[in-house]
């Protein structure tokens, strides 16, 4: 407990005083040395403890900071002792002789300052006199480091890697017996000079799949279902649909090619339209949620797996398609798994429909078994050997380690681009910022480093940057999410940095709660990531974890999403497709029965299903919206409260995600003030979002207005786009567009109608307790209500960072729960 801790600290302090008193008797030199030694020992223990604890666990930001700080101090103190050694021949104990792995540059700027702060704090103690003398010494030492540092800077950027991370070369992942083909590399160069289209044609012919074109077409001709396996980058996604088009399959209908990720669908469609020399959206198009870039002409349609799933709603036999290619099947996303069941089913009564299941890994047998022993077509890979390196010791801060490693590679390794796997947008942006800062600091001493981020929400026009060829003499570093693991292939990557983490949804079927978590990847993922470096020549992979971690802590394969997610959305879709018996649906890997029941229970609570499990009118209307059931229920319920127009604005803003407001570093106060304006009267986050939208609309969708209010124009435009589509869907389900924006209770009641399962009640200590399945949660600091703490709230979602936080929160009256969901909540008497 807190008391015990304080007591312990007091005790330690007393002991320390005794120590020091004893020490006073020895010479000042001696005293300083002993003290430092002691500090060093303590620090080392702390670091080791925390590193041990850290193994495989994600630290909070505060803990990371603390650990970093301790490491910095540790190194600083250690060095100072070494300096002292030179003077009086004091020997360092062996055990201290290890490196904390902290970057030099920052260590000097930050640690020195912090050390000074600590020293200043220590001045308050009764031994001030002694300390003053000590501080003087520290000052001298610091100065020395300062100048030493400067000298190094001019000394061939040595300091960049003076503090490098130690890697152990573990093994070489074999290639596929190919020699590095100079000629081919050379002709790649030459092809750049030709006309764009010719050059693309040349490139197409060099893809590993090209020699197998005719064989592949023959196999498709002969078999209705075909499983296709090939290394990432062999040309499956971009080439197969074109081959089929050239062979005439598009005369009978469109070719669909599904992708688990929106960015992949967009980017691949763009590439294929270039290769075919047509305008994107004409013969080649893409369709992702809220964005349909296709036309009457479209023959090759790249789409997210979720969108194809929705197409079944309008066209249960997919009559307008002649071929369906379920691509990236190994990813096993929820939608892909459901698609498997559906396409398997229709292939039986549509013998003319060709079905291709393509995958980058060796799960092929499993797919083949599932599709009644469909033949497997293997595209021989063309992979070069990849050298695998592990770190010697676990890295406390993988982001920092990734950055240091990237710089290390840049300065020490021969040309070739770098691919870094990070977990999400926020992390990528941070890394981008730090890298820019550090390379700027190095000026012209190092070759140019082009930093290219790629993640799902990256604006389309910036996405193509990662594919641009790297200029002569420069090096590209791509900061990517999992998307670059198999969905996207970036040419020229020679080095891969793999911190070993990805962001994954996790779902607790007992409570029905879903959270995004940073999770260790699987061995299969790690192999895929490493493989990305050996596509155009021998590569190197730097894993920021130890070989021990790899062998003992990583699972072999990633658990399919269907077994770790909320199924309400899928169940609603399947029900509206007329599939009632979900327990006997032909799943490749069935979801836990508990999760299915939970989904049914939620849909029943939302009145989307009746007691017999049949779709109700409400459910039928909900299914029209490509949104989570709670959001679609909120929209359908707004009819009753006459505020449908306000509610779709809120739903659209929520769908954009957390990228509406921004806080420039130098203007955080302004930004926060601007933001709080929308919260006047503690209206709650949902209504604040509506106000933002309405004010923007009143400004005539002005960009200037967005600047003035620290709001991202791009996000707003996207919200408007989504809002308009939702308005179209309202018309389809015959709900009138009405606004009632002054009656906040009406709006809040609509929200509650969808989100009552997400209600929480304030506790005495300022935390909240969720009502249905009691769990402690907190209002996210970014919420307008985080200082207000209303007694009852509904929230949009939970995110687990340092705590379990509710994001997007609105106050609620408890009697509404009973009024709106009497079957779910009852009054306690
Ligand atoms: P696979 O699906 O087998 O992994 P792809 O068909 O996606 O392979 O990739 C084949 C080639 O096309 C790769 O060399 C890749 O670099 C290139 N490519 C794919 N998409 C793009 C794009 N948007 N821009 C430039 N090149 C691309
Ligand atoms: Mg692909």
Least confident of 52-56, 340-344, 589-593: 52-56
DSSP character at residue 373: S
70 CA to middle of ligand 2, Å? 44
Tokens 């203007």 correspond to 667
Q: How does residue 466 score in pLDDT terms, banded at 50, 70 and 90?
A: confident
329 alpha carbon, closest ligand: 2
Q: How confident is the model at residue 95 (pLDDT cuts 50, 70, 90)?
A: very low
Tell me the CA–centroid distance for residue 265 and ligand 2, in Å.
10
Q: From ligand 2's centre to the CA of 622, what distance in Å?
A: 33
β 254-259/167-173 pair status: unpaired
> Of the bound ligands, which one is closest to the alpha carbon of residue 229?
1
Nearest ligand, measured from the Cα of 266: 1
- Report the alpha-carbon distance of residue 441 to residue 83 in Å, rounded: 27
How many Å lie between the centroid of ligand 1 and the Cα of residue 491? Answer: 8
DSSP 282: T
Atom of ligand 1 nearest to the CA of 327: 2
116 has pLDDT over 80: no
Q: What is the pTM of this model?
A: 0.74
> For all residues of the chain together, what is the average pLDDT?
81
Ligand 1, residues at Cβ distance < 6 Å: 207, 230, 232-239, 267-268, 270-271, 467, 489, 491
Report d(CA 649, CA 575) in Å as an integer: 28
Q: Which residue has the higher pLDDT, 137 or 591?
A: 591
Are residues 793 and 768 in contact, defined by beta-carbon separation less than 8 angstroms?
yes
The CA-CA-CA angle for residues 225, 227, 229, to 5°, reads 160
- φ/ψ of 171, rounded to 5, equals -165, 170
pLDDT grade for 64, boundaries at 50, 70 and 90: low
**Rounded Cα–Cα distance for residues 316 and 299 (Å):** 19
CA pair distance 827, 8, nearest whole angstrom: 47
The predicted pLDDT at position 630 comes to: 95
Q: Ligand 1, atom 5: nearest CA belongs to which residue?
A: 235
**Distance from the CA of 271 to the center of ligand 2, in angstroms?**
12
Distance 589 CA to ligand 2 centre (A): 23
For residue 542 the two structure tokens come to: 């730097």
Give the ligand with the smallest distance to the CA of 382: 1
Per-residue 3-state assignment (H helix, E strand, C coil) for 767-813 = CEEECCCCCEEEECCCCCCCCCCCCEEEEEEEEECCCEEEEEEEECC
Q: Does the pLDDT value for residue 153 go beyond 80?
A: no
CA 793 to ligand 1 centroid distance, Å: 47
Look up residue 183 and give its two tokens. 């000629």
Locus of tokens 């082009």: 450
* 8 A C-beta contact, residue 645 and residue 743: no
Q: Which residue's CA lies nearest to atom 6 of ligand 1? A: 235
Q: Write a three-state SS string for 659-683.
A: CCECCCHHHHHHHHHHHHHCCCCCC
Average of per-residue pLDDT across 145-149: 35
| Residue 220: pLDDT over 90 | yes
**What is the enclosing helix (H) or strand (E) of 399?**
helix 398-412
Q: Does the pLDDT of residue 45 top 80, yes or no?
A: no
Pocket probe mutation, ligand 1, options 237, 286, 460, max atoms within 8 Å of Cβ: 237
Closest CA to 527 of 409, 381, 395: 381
d(CA 34, CA 37): 5
- Mean pLDDT confidence for 9-35: 55
pLDDT in tens, 236-294: 999 999 999 999 999 999 999 999 998 899 999 999 999 999 999 999 999 998 889 99
- Residue 430 burial by Cβ neighbours in a 10 Å radius (0-12, 13-18, 19+): middle
Over residues 748-792, the pLDDT tens digits come to: 999 999 999 999 999 988 899 998 878 899 999 889 999 999 999
Residue from 191, 212, 233, 257 whose mutation best tests the ligand 1 pocket (most atoms within 8 A of CB): 233
User: What single DSSP character describes residue 111?
Assistant: I
Q: State pLDDT tens for residues 376-435.
A: 999 987 778 899 999 988 887 889 899 999 999 998 899 999 999 999 888 898 899 899
Cα(541)–Cα(763) distance, integer angstroms: 49
Element (H, E) at 543: strand 539-543
Rounded Cα–Cα distance for residues 342 and 577 (Å):
10
CA dist., res. 656 & res. 383, Å (int): 39
Q: How far is the CA of 710 from the centre of ligand 1 (A)?
A: 37
Average pLDDT rounded to a whole number, residues 102-130: 36
Most informative mutation of 234, 235, 534 for ligand 1 (most atoms within 8 A of CB) = 235
Query: 322 phi and psi, to 5 degrees?
Result: -100, -25
Per-residue pLDDT, 171 = 75
476-521 pLDDT, tens digit each? 999 999 989 988 888 899 999 999 999 887 777 666 667 667 788 9
What pLDDT shows up at residue 6?
A: 73
For residues 626 and 586, is the Cβ–Cβ distance under 8 A?
no
Structure tokens at 299: 């023959």
Secondary structure (DSSP) of 570-612: HHHHHHHTT---GGGS--SSPPPHHHHHHHHHHHHHTTSB-TT
Residue 463 tokens read as 């996405």
């Amino acid at each position: 407990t807190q008391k015990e801790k304080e007591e312990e600290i007091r005790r330690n302090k007393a002991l320390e005083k005794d120590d020091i008193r004893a020490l006073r008797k020895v010479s000042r030199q001696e005293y300083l040395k002993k003290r430092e030694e002691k500090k060093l020992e303590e620090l080392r223990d702390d670091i080791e403890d925390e590193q041990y604890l850290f193994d495989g666990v994600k630290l909070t930001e505060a803990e990371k900071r603390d650990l970093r700080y301790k490491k910095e101090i540790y190194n600083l103190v250690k060095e100072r002792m070494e300096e002292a050694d030179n003077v009086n021949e004091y020997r360092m104990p062996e055990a201290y002789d290890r490196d904390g792995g902290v970057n030099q540059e920052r260590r000097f700027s930050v640690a020195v300052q912090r050390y000074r702060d600590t020293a200043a704090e220590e001045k308050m103690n009764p031994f001030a006199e002694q300390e003053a003398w000590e501080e003087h010494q520290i000052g001298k030492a610091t100065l020395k480091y300062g100048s030493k540092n400067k000298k190094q800077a001019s000394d061939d950027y040595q300091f960049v890697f003076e503090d490098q991370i130690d890697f152990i070369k573990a093994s070489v992942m074999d290639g596929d017996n190919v020699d590095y083909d100079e000629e081919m590399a050379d002709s790649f160069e030459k092809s750049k000079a030709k006309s764009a289209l010719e050059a693309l044609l040349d490139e197409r012919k060099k893809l590993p799949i090209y020699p197998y074109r005719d064989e592949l077409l023959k196999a498709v001709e002969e078999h209705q279902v075909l499983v296709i396996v090939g290394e990432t980058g062999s040309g499956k996604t971009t080439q197969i649909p074109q081959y089929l088009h050239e062979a005439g399959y598009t005369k009978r209908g469109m070719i669909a090619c599904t992708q688990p990720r929106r960015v992949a669908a967009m980017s691949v469609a763009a590439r294929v339209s270039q290769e075919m020399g047509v305008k994107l959206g004409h013969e080649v198009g893409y369709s992702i949620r809220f964005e349909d870039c296709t036309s009457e002409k479209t023959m090759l349609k790249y789409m997210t797996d979720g969108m194809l799933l929705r197409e079944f709603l309008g066209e249960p036999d997919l009559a307008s398609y002649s071929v369906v290619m379920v691509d990236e099947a190994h990813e096993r996303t929820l939608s892909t798994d459901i698609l498997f069941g559906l396409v398997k089913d229709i292939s039986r009564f549509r013998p003319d429909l060709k079905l291709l299941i393509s995958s980058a890994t060796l799960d092929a047998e499993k797919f083949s078994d599932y599709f009644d022993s469909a033949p497997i077509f293997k595209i021989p890979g063309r992979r070069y050997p990849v050298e695998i390196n592990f770190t010697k010791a676990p890295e406390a801060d993988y982001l920092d380690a990734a950055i240091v490693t990237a710089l290390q590679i840049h300065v020490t390794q021969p040309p070739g681009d770098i691919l870094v796997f990070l977990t999400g947008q926020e992390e990528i942006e941070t890394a981008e910022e730090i890298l820019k800062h550090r390379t700027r600091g190095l000026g012209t001493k190092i070759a140019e480093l082009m930093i290219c981020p790629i993640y799902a929400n990256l604006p389309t026009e910036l996405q193509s940057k990662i594919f641009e060829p790297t200029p002569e003499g420069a090096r590209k570093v791509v900061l990517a999410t999992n998307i670059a693991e198999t969905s996207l292939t970036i040419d020229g990557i020679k080095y891969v940095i793999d911190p070993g983490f990805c962001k994954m949804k996790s779902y607790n079927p007992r409570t029905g709660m879903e959270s995004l978590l940073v999770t260790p990847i699987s061995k299969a993922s790690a192999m895929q990531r490493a493989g990305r470096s050996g596509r155009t020549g021998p590569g190197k992979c730097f894993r920021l974890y130890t070989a021990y971690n790899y062998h003992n802590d990583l699972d072999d394969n990633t658990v399919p999403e269907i077994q770790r997610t909320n199924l309400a959305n899928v169940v609603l879709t399947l029900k509206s497709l007329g599939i009632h018996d979900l327990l006997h649906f032909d799943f490749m890997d069935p979801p836990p029965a508990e999760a299915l029941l939970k989904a049914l229970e939620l849909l029943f609570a939302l009145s989307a299903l009746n007691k017999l499990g049949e779709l109700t009118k409400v459910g039928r209307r909900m299914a029209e919206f490509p949104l989570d059931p709670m959001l679609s229920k909120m929209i359908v319920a707004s009819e009753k409260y006459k505020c449908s127009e306000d509610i779709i604005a809120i739903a659209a803003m929520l769908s954009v995600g957390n990228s509406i407001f921004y806080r420039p570093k130098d203007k955080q106060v302004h930004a926060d003030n601007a933001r709080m304006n929308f919260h006047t009267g503690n209206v709650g986050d949902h209504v604040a979002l509506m106000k933002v939208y309405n004010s923007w609309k009143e400004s005539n969708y002005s960009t200037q207005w967005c600047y003035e209010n620290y709001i991202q124009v791009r996000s707003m435009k996207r919200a408007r786009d989504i809002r308009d589509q939702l308005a179209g869907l309202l018309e389809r389900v015959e709900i009138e567009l009405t606004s009632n924006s002054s009656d906040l209770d009406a709006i809040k009641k609509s929200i509650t109608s969808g989100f009552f399962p997400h209600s929480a009640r304030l506790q005495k200590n300022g935390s909240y307790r969720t009502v249905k399945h009691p769990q402690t949660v907190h209002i996210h600091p970014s919420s307008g209500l985080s200082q207000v703490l209303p007694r009852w709230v509904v929230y949009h979602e939970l995110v687990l960072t340092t705590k379990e936080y509710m994001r997007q929160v609105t106050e609620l009256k408890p009697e509404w729960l009973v009024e709106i969901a009497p079957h779910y909540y009852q009054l306690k008497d």
